[in-house]
Structure 1
């Protein structure tokens, strides 16, 4: 920021009429240009400190007859030494042209004869570690309003047209010489050229000649080349589709299912969950963290609505209000911090969601600094500020990211190399070219891969507890046979589609010859599970909404799909009803048996309870909240706005490529897909079959008949994650 005493008038020296005029412009400004945005810009500069209490006091001015929050803010900034030049920089960053013209025409810009273009704030050289945040700032004043373009090593930078250039997660590729070209339609000027160095800070270490010779020993080099191992591998996969207040999604169900099967082939202990509320997501993360330990490979995959603000990524639960803010969501970077505390060997985050800015959430999170580790990999399905798309195939959808990831996930390669190749594959997809590109962020220094072997450190208490915890979440009821008084015998079997979705199937295995009509069905489920009777006891799994495991279930049964098992509060108790008839009678006989199968799968972990730990991911979201009228202590009514990119009519149109290629053949410079690419807003319920999976579904029935119809016809729907 410009320093006082550099020929710039203190803000407190502005005439009251001018302050009043500026206040009026800020009070009635459009979203993104009001007094709250000015406060955020001033507070983030680092020189002017504004507390939540300060902003609350400004906000409460609206309760006074002629009160103005903007007037109160400007007076507060002036009292704390803010200058007119600094105010102009803030207003330029907000692109508040009218307020800038008001200042320029007032003659208040002393030290700027003729309103010449002048750079007041020069960028500063920086030395950063990999994974740090690069923030370069250049401030200029002038009339007409200056524009900015950042350069690195002589080349203009994309997204470098603001006075602040930011990279939230730097790698060695960001090293170089930076400067900013400032210009308007009358003149131009370059800022100072500064060096940005990426890497560990140079530290002098005293050592003896013997120490130096040890560094060159062959056995040490051989050890460095030795393949890394994991003490264990665990993964949490969350797919949110059935949103209460937002557009429904399709692809997360298929994406989570297919990734589950692939990761199991790589010996991961996988917890796969569909449609979680905020407390359920937070508790699922807590349970996931219990599975982590020193040297464990941890992988978190999320598909659903999401957004990114100020470099932090947020996963949106299905019960999030409309609109939602960070306090309603889970911050990925906070989860990473908690994973680091477990001293994990590898942390992989695969985020299949949009990363557009949530313009109605201006909360700036205060996060503790992450540890400098060499084991973090982020795979973002799309670039910052962009949407993620999904593709329909035989009526079911895959996310574009997952469609290409699943083809390579089993390859024995360093995870960053693998993701780079996935990015290249995605780049050949004409449907999303220029719209979606995989972004990889990594601090991984070792050649770690998802295929690395597991080497147990012994039967420690930690590993035993971890195995028990995971096993608890994947226990299925045993298959059973029910004998009825009439002599009919019914088999009751169970299969797991996800960690919180179970299929119950029933079939008659013994029927006395004197009974001519006989049928059995299950009913009387707990209200927590919200089972629709119309979708229960169906002749095919697809009719129940289960399209992924039909090939692995016995035929000639009646099927019932129980989802949201995490909501189950007590034992799962239901009734098996038998209807049968004897020849020559017009009456139907009934017999009923009550069955108690305990708490299957994830129900044992009680994710439906309130927050189970005090280490709540929400805590950081409430600190430094810039919206005092949203705080519980504020008497001002809360106002909610629907972000424009959430509006149903804001989706892009339909794109029809001219090429046609088979799903099973990879063509050079082309993607293996064709059809309609559609945003994830306009999605209905899915019903057709899905392609063959890699690993059979868990089931309690030993006799599994396989029958599956493969279809290579592709249809795309253009779908976005918020």
Structure 2
């Protein structure tokens, strides 16, 4: 039903007061086409059954100083069920065209469009949109197809604006009758390499170059990157020139040549304009030479034999490395069945996911996996790897290290656990090497104490002698890793310092060195936890290296499809019941195996005075906790991380462990409603099938695809056995009485005031993030660029008292 049709079926008592007031004034002031003529027509209509006494009472309203016979008559007609369409028909019979015009829904139109602009980070920036229409106009801003939190006024303010705020924005305006969209506007935010502090916004039609291109000396085959960034309003446009000639298709801030030749030598500059003003950057020279012997186009360089020898022995300092793709698998295990529970992996995995996505990594983030699920997740991760791909594996949870081999402990590991119950990291590295990856990074946030119940000496298959392998251990060999607890959220010590550095454009080992130095200054864990780095890095590889896909090969297509399968959310849907109630269902991803369902009643007939809708009847293999369903806030379901990005005034349901789904995700939408004047409530329900969302599509709960352990590492169950029975195959746990063994990350408790963390020692910052989400509102179709921010958290670190250690 359209907004127009819905308006005409509206009971006239539900019309807005300004409309009714204007119609009443018009009918009161008109004799031949006034309220008495309307009363005569209504009295003769059997549908409304107005008595002579009631009409007489309407006429008496003229005796009141502010009384209105027309308003009284309209109220009586509304009480008899008269709608806008029927009132319009009466007015047409009377020839009262002026009143009909007042009843027609007014359109809405954007009259002031938001301006595209380029600004410096740190400024106060406002995007403005103004619309006309009656009744009141509502505003909602979107960044691409993602709703902007608190973006519900005509001005969208950034105070101050950050680089992460850059993107395309649009404003939806609506009233009760219609809606309209503004034009797309682009906000470009520049980080200047100049020293601007509190620079005010530039006047309109002005432009200023804040980042100038820099001269470069390159080798044949190197990549050329020139940057010119300007701020201004309207948005600046760029045109690059070389030696006085405009370069073809060089119309962006960055001018890049993937592989330079001698022909690229010359003098470059950039012209920037916004249609009203033009500025030209400084001229810079690009020199290209063969090998390490640089050739200037203006003059040849002479080198002695001794100098030439020095060039040969010196590493090239201008290597431009790239990845063919970037993929990451993040696993956080917390809810152990037989061991102490952890808290930090949830926040750590979430924050690392958001940071890696800013570095263009394809990220799969998973919480609480069994052994079978962990092995199959690694198998899916390996499918995403190929030659030149950067692969990153992050694990947070219980773990140990024996004889140089690191083991990650699944949530279903028995007590005590052995290597046959866990995943060997070195075995995963061996399989990654077979893919000829460009960079292998392992970030292991777990303990590295020896497991005294596991005396198996594993003899791994020989690892290839390959470079570009980096291990970042959260703690030293033989030591524990700690986490910081506060309320319902926690951070691991390693992630607390890593997230502040991860976006830096530095060689990965240099970045980790700085993280180690930061951790060393934390007095609360000094002497207990220190970052250890192991590396065979032979190139200046960094997580910020760009992605350069040389060709769209079948392998890369398959890789992208496999990754996309793990991130498909159900689309927002509207459920309509026979009674006229409409329920909107939306879906958001917190992790690759954790989803939020949010429900909202968007329409109900006026005769229904109360209605409530819940989702229920989920598949039994999901183990949905009732206290996590149909709650008034996301926090009540245990979802603290994406709550600020979800729509308000909904009921929220938290579904975890989506990897356990064996069939489609089906559930019921149960509606309970009450009609006016009837005490008994009516129940109705609709069945919903949303397929297999997110990681459920990959069926990692099913039988083992391949073995990841080395030759002497026994796999505890075959594909035909349930993972629940796996620990028994590794050896009966009942022969041990209260065994004490190594823990992965110590939850430590507070025996003294000195355990409270001081902000100057370990300060938590806010990071940018990403969340996939389907929204209720209509929006123009375009690419989705999800970006969120996490709020700053206060934490408390506790000293260890009750957790046993394996010394």
TM-score (norm 1): 0.62
Aligned-pair CA distance for 1:621:
1.3
Please, which of 580, 604, 625 is the counterpart of residue 532 of structure 1? Answer: 625
The 8 Å contact of residues 355 and 387 in structure 1, kept in 2 or not, is answered as: yes
Q: Does 1:441 align with 2:534?
A: yes
Aligned-pair CA distance for 1:714:
3.0
Query: Which shifted more, 459-468 or 529-538?
Result: 529-538
Instruction: For 1:336 and 1:616, locate their aligned partners in 2 and report how far apart those are by CA, in whole Å.
Output: 10
2:709 corresponds in structure 1 to 617
1:431 corresponds in structure 2 to 524
Please, which of 531, 544, 561 is the counterpart of residue 451 of structure 1? Answer: 544
Please, which of 666, 671, 675 is the counterpart of residue 762 of structure 2? Answer: 671
Q: Does 1:715 align with 2:796?
A: yes
1:428 and 1:458, CA in 2 relative to 1: closer, same or farther beyond 3 A?
same
Aligned-pair CA distance for 1:458:
0.7
1:365 corresponds in structure 2 to 458
The 8 Å contact of residues 377 and 443 in structure 1, kept in 2 or not, is answered as: yes
Query: Which shifted more, 547-556 or 698-707?
Result: 698-707
CA offsets 1:588-632 (integer angstroms, 9 cap, x no match): 11121111100000001001112112x342643139xxxxxx999
The 8 Å contact of residues 458 and 710 in structure 2, kept in 1 or not, is answered as: no
Please, which of 550, 554, 573 is the counterpart of residue 643 of structure 2? Answer: 550
Instruction: For 1:418 and 1:315, locate their aligned partners in 2 and report how far apart those are by CA, in whole Å.
Output: 24
Instruction: For 1:567 and 1:304, locate their aligned partners in 2 and report how far apart those are by CA, in whole Å.
Output: 20
The 8 Å contact of residues 484 and 491 in structure 2, kept in 1 or not, is answered as: yes
The 8 Å contact of residues 394 and 713 in structure 1, kept in 2 or not, is answered as: no
1:323 corresponds in structure 2 to 416
1:491 corresponds in structure 2 to 584
Aligned residues: 480
1:542 and 1:707, CA in 2 relative to 1: closer, same or farther beyond 3 A?
farther
The 8 Å contact of residues 609 and 675 in structure 2, kept in 1 or not, is answered as: yes
Q: Does 1:339 align with 2:413?
A: no
Please, which of 726, 730, 740 is the counterpart of residue 644 of structure 1? Answer: 740
The residue matched to 1:466 in structure 2 has which SS? helix
1:598 and 1:659, CA in 2 relative to 1: closer, same or farther beyond 3 A?
closer
Instruction: For 2:590 and 2:348, locate their aligned partners in 1 and report how far apart those are by CA, in whole Å.
Output: 13
Which protein has greater RCO, CA pairs closer than 8 Å, 6+ apart? Answer: 1
Instruction: For 1:505 and 1:535, locate their aligned partners in 2 and report how far apart those are by CA, in whole Å.
Output: 12
Q: Report which of the two has the higher share of strand.
A: 2
The residue matched to 1:360 in structure 2 has which SS? coil
The residue matched to 2:460 in structure 1 has which SS? coil
Runs of 4+ in 1 over 6 A off after TM superposition: 215-224, 630-638, 650-653, 659-662, 704-709, 719-722
1:477 and 1:221, CA in 2 relative to 1: closer, same or farther beyond 3 A?
farther
Aligned-pair CA distance for 1:445:
1.2
CA offsets 1:209-250 (integer angstroms, 9 cap, x no match): xxx99x979899897732210000000000000000001100
The 8 Å contact of residues 376 and 704 in structure 2, kept in 1 or not, is answered as: yes
Instruction: For 2:627 and 2:557, locate their aligned partners in 1 and report how far apart those are by CA, in whole Å.
Output: 43
The residue matched to 2:510 in structure 1 has which SS? helix
Aligned-pair CA distance for 1:644:
2.5
Please, which of 439, 444, 449 is the counterpart of residue 351 of structure 1? Answer: 444
The 8 Å contact of residues 345 and 491 in structure 2, kept in 1 or not, is answered as: yes
Please, which of 369, 376, 399 is the counterpart of residue 276 of structure 1? Answer: 369
Please, which of 544, 562, 565 is the counterpart of residue 472 of structure 1? Answer: 565
Q: Does 1:387 align with 2:480?
A: yes
TM-score (norm 2): 0.56
2:342 corresponds in structure 1 to 249
Instruction: For 1:700 and 1:353, locate their aligned partners in 2 and report how far apart those are by CA, in whole Å.
Output: 35
CA offsets 1:27-81 (integer angstroms, 9 cap, x no match): xxxxxxxxxxxxxxxxxxxxxxxxxxxxxxxxxxxxxxxxxxxxxxxxxxxxxxx
1:695 corresponds in structure 2 to 769
Instruction: For 2:650 and 2:457, locate their aligned partners in 1 and report how far apart those are by CA, in whole Å.
Output: 54
Instruction: For 1:577 and 1:692, locate their aligned partners in 2 and report how far apart those are by CA, in whole Å.
Output: 39
1:284 and 1:309, CA in 2 relative to 1: closer, same or farther beyond 3 A?
same
Instruction: For 1:635 and 1:437, locate their aligned partners in 2 and report how far apart those are by CA, in whole Å.
Output: 34
Instruction: For 2:731 and 2:644, locate their aligned partners in 1 and report how far apart those are by CA, in whole Å.
Output: 58
The 8 Å contact of residues 645 and 651 in structure 1, kept in 2 or not, is answered as: no
Instruction: For 1:299 and 1:228, locate their aligned partners in 2 and report how far apart those are by CA, in whole Å.
Output: 17
The 8 Å contact of residues 461 and 710 in structure 2, kept in 1 or not, is answered as: no
1:143 corresponds in structure 2 to none
CA offsets 1:544-572 (integer angstroms, 9 cap, x no match): 11111100100100011110000000011
The 8 Å contact of residues 307 and 353 in structure 1, kept in 2 or not, is answered as: yes
- What RMSD over aligned residues (CA atoms) do the two structures have, in Å? 3.4
Aligned-pair CA distance for 1:258:
0.4
2:500 corresponds in structure 1 to 407
The 8 Å contact of residues 391 and 718 in structure 1, kept in 2 or not, is answered as: no
The residue matched to 1:264 in structure 2 has which SS? helix
1:48 corresponds in structure 2 to none
Aligned-pair CA distance for 1:366:
1.4
Q: Does 1:232 align with 2:313?
A: no
The residue matched to 1:322 in structure 2 has which SS? coil
Computing the radius of gyration from Cα coordinates, the structure with the larger value is 2
Instruction: For 1:579 and 1:377, locate their aligned partners in 2 and report how far apart those are by CA, in whole Å.
Output: 57
1:351 and 1:646, CA in 2 relative to 1: closer, same or farther beyond 3 A?
closer
Q: Does 1:502 align with 2:595?
A: yes
The 8 Å contact of residues 600 and 649 in structure 2, kept in 1 or not, is answered as: yes
1:510 and 1:220, CA in 2 relative to 1: closer, same or farther beyond 3 A?
farther
CA offsets 1:355-403 (integer angstroms, 9 cap, x no match): 1110010000011111111111000000001000001245410000000
Instruction: For 2:430 and 2:749, locate their aligned partners in 1 and report how far apart those are by CA, in whole Å.
Output: 39
Q: Does 1:263 align with 2:356?
A: yes
Instruction: For 2:532 and 2:498, locate their aligned partners in 1 and report how far apart those are by CA, in whole Å.
Output: 13
**Equivalent residue runs for 1:50-199 within 5 Å:** none
1:256 and 1:486, CA in 2 relative to 1: closer, same or farther beyond 3 A?
same
CA offsets 1:669-696 (integer angstroms, 9 cap, x no match): x4337xxxxxxxxxxxxxxxxx865124
The residue matched to 2:663 in structure 1 has which SS? coil
Instruction: For 1:438 and 1:298, locate their aligned partners in 2 and report how far apart those are by CA, in whole Å.
Output: 21
The residue matched to 2:364 in structure 1 has which SS? strand
**Equivalent residue runs for 1:28-67 within 5 Å:** none
1:292 corresponds in structure 2 to 385
The 8 Å contact of residues 347 and 489 in structure 2, kept in 1 or not, is answered as: yes
Aligned-pair CA distance for 1:514:
1.3
Aligned-pair CA distance for 1:651:
8.3
**Equivalent residue runs for 1:200-215 within 5 Å:** none
Aligned-pair CA distance for 1:584:
1.2
Instruction: For 2:580 and 2:731, locate their aligned partners in 1 and report how far apart those are by CA, in whole Å.
Output: 70
Instruction: For 1:386 and 1:567, locate their aligned partners in 2 and report how far apart those are by CA, in whole Å.
Output: 34
Aligned-pair CA distance for 1:512:
1.4
The residue matched to 1:471 in structure 2 has which SS? helix
Gaps spanning 5+ residues in structure 1: where? 1-211, 624-629, 674-690
The 8 Å contact of residues 551 and 708 in structure 1, kept in 2 or not, is answered as: no
Instruction: For 1:388 and 1:634, locate their aligned partners in 2 and report how far apart those are by CA, in whole Å.
Output: 26
Instruction: For 2:499 and 2:804, locate their aligned partners in 1 and report how far apart those are by CA, in whole Å.
Output: 19
Instruction: For 1:631 and 1:711, locate their aligned partners in 2 and report how far apart those are by CA, in whole Å.
Output: 40
